[in-house]
Amino acid sequence: MERYLEGKTALVTGSVQGIGLAIARALAGAGARIGLHGLATQDAIDRAKAETLAAGAPETRFFDADLRDAAAIDAMMDAVSQWGGPDILVNNAGIQHTVSLAEATPDIWNAILAVNLSGAFHTMRRAMPAMAERGYGRVVNIASVHGLVASVNKAPYVASKFGLVGLSRVAALEYAAAGDRKSGGVTVNCICPGWTETAIIGPQVDARAAAHGGDRAAGIAELLAEKQPSRRTSDPAEIGALAAWLASPLAHNVTGTAIPVDGGWTAQ
């Protein structure tokens, strides 16, 4: 595999499992040093470190900042900067709580907005000025199809993801002229996954499976038939491959986009 990110440092939030870990592995395979992040057990941290090193990262470190705490994010960004980066920032950490607008509490709203949107704002405001100084930087924000279209019972989540897409577009415009083709420039993009094989969709799959006597495959099929025309879930590795391409020097003129990986969901 071409190691086009050799000498670069990547910070991937929410990267001890699922899509985040898949992205970390893909960036590691391209030669980047990997800053892992999450709230996880030591065993999960050790496994994630081992996987990214095995994938090709020359070095891996772990950061455990609570993204609901701006001061903790500042401390994390200080530590990553002292390490030499980040040249690549992937905001993947996210939480979801399926609840009606009437039943959504202030605590649910505040937690989802803090992790999914404010966390990305705080990492970006700290990372991007240094990216501009170096003339190279990549921000990849993992939004969702729910950053492009809405669904019932997801008001806080949809609001956070629409906000993330908007934040990313503003940042893309503000930094569009930083650097040049030779240095690589500074870009900001969103990836908007549809149904993907991760823990976050587990409660919805379980609810559908229960309606089919516990048949998980039937529950997944029903869930996808409603929204995703391909009726196929995405594998996290597919999101990782796209994120790694967006992080590459070749993608210097791809900025301000929100790319769906949704089997045609948002094409309807």
pLDDT digits (tens, 9 = 90+) for 142-198: 999 999 999 999 999 999 999 999 999 999 999 999 999 999 999 999 999 999 987
pLDDT surpassing 80 at residue 199: no
260 occurs within a structural domain: no
Boundaries of domain holding 208: 199-233
220 occurs within a structural domain: yes
1 occurs within a structural domain: no
Distance of alpha carbon 175 from alpha carbon 150, whole angstroms: 29
Instruction: Name the domain count of the chain.
Output: 2
Distance of alpha carbon 139 from alpha carbon 15, whole angstroms: 15
Q: What is the Cα gyration radius of the chain? A: 18
The model's confidence at residue 2, banded by pLDDT at 50, 70 and 90, is confident
If one compares 210 and 137, the residue with the highest pLDDT of the two is: 137
90 occurs within a structural domain: yes
56 occurs within a structural domain: yes
Q: Please check whether residues 95 and 182 belong to one and the same domain.
A: yes
265 occurs within a structural domain: no
Mean pLDDT calculated for residue range 130-137: 98
Phi and psi at 63, nearest 5°, equal -130, 140
The model's confidence at residue 1, banded by pLDDT at 50, 70 and 90, is low
Q: Residue for token digits 């499992």? A: 17
**Active-site residue, from 4, 136, 157, 175:** 157
Give pTM, 2 decimals. 0.93
Q: Please check whether residues 229 and 247 belong to one and the same domain.
A: no
**84-98, 174-188, 195-209, 222-236: the lowest-pLDDT one:** 195-209
Q: Please check whether residues 126 and 57 belong to one and the same domain.
A: yes
**76-90, 124-138, 199-213: the lowest-pLDDT one:** 199-213
The whole-number pLDDT of residue 51 equals: 98
Mark out the alpha helices in 135-215 (DSSP H runs): 155-174, 202-210
In this structure, the dihedral spanned by the alpha carbons of residues 48, 67, 170 and 105, taken in order and rounded to 10 degrees, is: 120
Percent of the chain residues past pLDDT 70, beyond the cut: 99
The CB density around residue 41, as the number of other CB atoms within 10 Å, is 10
Q: Please check whether residues 141 and 223 belong to one and the same domain.
A: no
The whole-number pLDDT of residue 255 equals: 98
Q: Please check whether residues 71 and 85 belong to one and the same domain.
A: yes
Nearest alpha-carbon partner for 90 in 164, 10, 154, 170: 10
pLDDT surpassing 60 at residue 239: yes
167 occurs within a structural domain: yes
Mean pLDDT calculated for residue range 237-248: 98
Mean pLDDT calculated for residue range 104-133: 98
The whole-number pLDDT of residue 3 equals: 94
Q: Please check whether residues 103 and 205 belong to one and the same domain.
A: no
pLDDT surpassing 80 at residue 36: yes
Distance of alpha carbon 16 from alpha carbon 35, whole angstroms: 11
Please say if 4 is a catalytic residue: no
4 occurs within a structural domain: no
pLDDT tens digits, 52-94: 999 999 999 999 999 999 999 999 999 999 999 899 999 999 9
